[in-house]
Structure 1
Amino acid sequence: MSRWDKVCQLHRLLDRRRQPLDRNTLCSELDCSPATLTRLIATLRDEFGAPIENLPGAGWRYGADVRGRFELPGLWLSDDELHALALLDQLLGQIGPELLGRALAPVRERIAQMKALLPDDGHGLERLRLLPQGRREVRGTILGTLARAVVERRRLHFEYHSRGKDEHTQREVSPQRLAYYRDNWYLDAWCHKRRSLRRFAVDRVRRVTLRDKAARIVSPDELQRHLNAAYGIFAGLARHTAILRFSAARARWVAEELWHTRQHGQWLLDGRYELHVPYGDPTELLMDLLRHAPEVEVVAPAALRAAYVERLQAGLGVHEITNAEQAGIQHPDEIAPP
């Protein structure tokens, strides 16, 4: 921790305590020697004008009349906090700066200036990476309009292209919230055409018009019940519970993962891990299970198990190896090392 980090930490310690802090406590909190503590107190008091009181035999504190009101000049962040802020800045750029547009530009410029305060002029931040996967392109003007409609509770009209049915429909909706899920944006809205709650992939929205008409408001409980009760991005009620058993090798990862807010898991005697997950539409759950094949067994329900086996067999059918290909395949033990 740099000297300036310790000055900032000392300020925070004194600012939030009514009782004085003795030398041993401060040295322990700041991880410094008594001599260093003396220099830090002098810096904070003499260079920054901090209202430090020294109570003989008790320690140091801020004066009661200014406690909670004295601030260090400017925005002071520790190195750790600045690195965390840099990651947040990257995340903002990744999920779409169009959401807040120019309003955040001065803030991001200020963050860029603060990055330069790091010992290496911020060049080390280039090694901090957020790696999106499967992100689909969203038009900035559309995302901004949807966000405005959600905040102002106004209706929207747009054209929507359904990938599954490959059809275009006109929709009048009352937007409820925007959700960012697995690197993509979704709009939760009451659809006046279907007369029910729907979830729309924002990248499939076109020709948006912001209406002056007030949106229909759906309660948070109803939104949770219809859009977040089941598994993944698919809306609907969680009518089933999947019982999944993962191999001992894969269990070390899965046991620490959150698949659903109402999941239940337990270790089995043989080292495997059994996970119970609520779901409605099995589509996304099956996709996630295939990522773990052959390290997972679908125990129940029978319909989910059959669908999983069918997907596995279909995949094998696509990759069926002919006798000629089999003859040309070398066993790993037969491949000569380079």
Structure 2
Amino acid sequence: MEDTLTESRDNQTRRTARLLEIIQHIAGAPRYWTRQRLAQHYEISERMITKDIEIIRLTLGFQIKSDGAGYYFVRVPHMPTTSFSLPEAIALLTAARTAQAVPGINSGELAIAIARLESIFPEDLRPYLRDILDRLPRSADGTHRQRMLALLHRAYFERTRLRIAYQSTKSESAIQREIEPYEILPYGRSWHVIAYDSHRKDVIQFKCDRIQTGELLDQHYEIPSHFNLEVYLGDGWGMLRDVAQEAEDVILHFDAIAGRWASEEHWHKSQVNELQPDGSFILRFHVGITPETVNWLMYYGERVEVIAPDWLREEVREGHRRAWEVK
């Protein structure tokens, strides 16, 4: 009974997300999206698309029509104009920039949103921005994630070098480092800062929750124009770039239920989803496998089978065996 309720909630969540995406598609490309095109895009029946359109028209109250070429809005829905204080605008701009690193958000529309956010700042922003930044902390301790993130973002916006005490997994005591933040981004349930480490003279990844203390220095820096986040992270799975194996082909077979969940998410840039006649899914990747990959596969239990490579299949099987022995 509980599984049925959970699946029902999941289906409702997916449908709500689909409705919002359909509105976004039609608003962005009037008269392009036909019922057939939408059905093919979402891999559902045209009858289901018709029901979705009726919800948009009758329940949400959007004036949507079709003249044979495709759906369009008689009046494109707009959000009401909202004004922000400067601190709110900076916080919103920071969140929008962070969202660029998160899969599942339309990059084109996000870029437009960021451009609009930046346009609200006056040309003589620097004095005002300096005033706001001066209200942010100049130091923080690691017990308060929000203060640490505020400090890291201040260093990023000001392009100011930061001295941190970092608790590495390889050291019993915290190590002192001077860093220049290049990117601050969320991953899973944590935050990471990718920064130039003056001690190691290299770009290093730091987990924010392991930064015990931080202090701004009176030294400024510039982010190199050649730095590219995607190139830096490489072909590895997730954020653990230093432990990734050489990239190789990975083929996974998910049953119908888990396959729907897995195929709806963007796990890696090389991902290819293949719906099978029986409703199951084949997912293909060309990726550097990490321990995180193995943990992800074990989460799905018997609902996923590793087709290739053989060594990964054995690794997952061994992981399940060890888990069973613990029980």
What TM-score results when the alignment is normalised by the length of structure 2? 0.52
Shift of 1:225: 1.0
Give deviations 1:142-185, integer Å, cap 9, x for gaps.
22221111112222221111246655222222210110222322
Out of 310, 319, 324, the residue aligned to residue 302 of structure 1 is: 310
Shift of 1:246: 0.6
Structure number with bigger Rg: 1
Unaligned 5+ segments in structure 1 are 1-28, 32-74, 78-87, 105-135, 320-338
Out of 149, 158, 161, the residue aligned to residue 152 of structure 1 is: 158
Give the AA of the match of 1:315.
Answer: A
The answer on 1:318 being equivalent to 2:326 is: yes
Corresponding residue for 2:291?
A: 283
What's the secondary structure of 2:302's corresponding residue?
Answer: coil
Q: Give the distance between the partners of 1:213 and 1:76, measured in 2 at CA.
A: 40
Measured at CA, do residues 285 and 169 of structure 1 come closer, stay the same or move farther in structure 2, by a change above 3 Å?
Answer: same
Give the AA of the match of 1:156.
Answer: L
Measured at CA, do residues 233 and 210 of structure 1 come closer, stay the same or move farther in structure 2, by a change above 3 Å?
Answer: same
Corresponding residue for 2:149?
A: 143
Whether the aligned pair in 2 keeps the contact of 1:190 and 1:216 (CA below 8 Å) is: no
Shift of 1:303: 2.9
Whether the aligned pair in 2 keeps the contact of 1:245 and 1:297 (CA below 8 Å) is: yes
Q: Give the distance between the partners of 1:248 and 1:286, measured in 2 at CA.
A: 21
Cα RMSD, aligned residues only: 3.4
Measured at CA, do residues 219 and 239 of structure 1 come closer, stay the same or move farther in structure 2, by a change above 3 Å?
Answer: farther
Unaligned 5+ segments in structure 2 are 1-60, 64-79, 83-90, 99-128, 134-141
Shift of 1:263: 0.9
Q: Give the distance between the partners of 1:185 and 1:172, measured in 2 at CA.
A: 19
Corresponding residue for 1:115?
A: none
Out of 215, 223, 229, the residue aligned to residue 229 of structure 2 is: 223
Q: Give the distance between the partners of 2:315 and 2:222, measured in 1 at CA.
A: 38
Q: Give the distance between the partners of 2:307 and 2:172, measured in 1 at CA.
A: 34
Whether the aligned pair in 2 keeps the contact of 1:199 and 1:235 (CA below 8 Å) is: no
What is the aligned length? 198
Corresponding residue for 1:175?
A: 181
Q: Give the distance between the partners of 1:243 and 1:166, measured in 2 at CA.
A: 39
What's the secondary structure of 2:199's corresponding residue?
Answer: coil
Corresponding residue for 2:55?
A: none
Shift of 1:216: 5.3
Measured at CA, do residues 229 and 251 of structure 1 come closer, stay the same or move farther in structure 2, by a change above 3 Å?
Answer: same
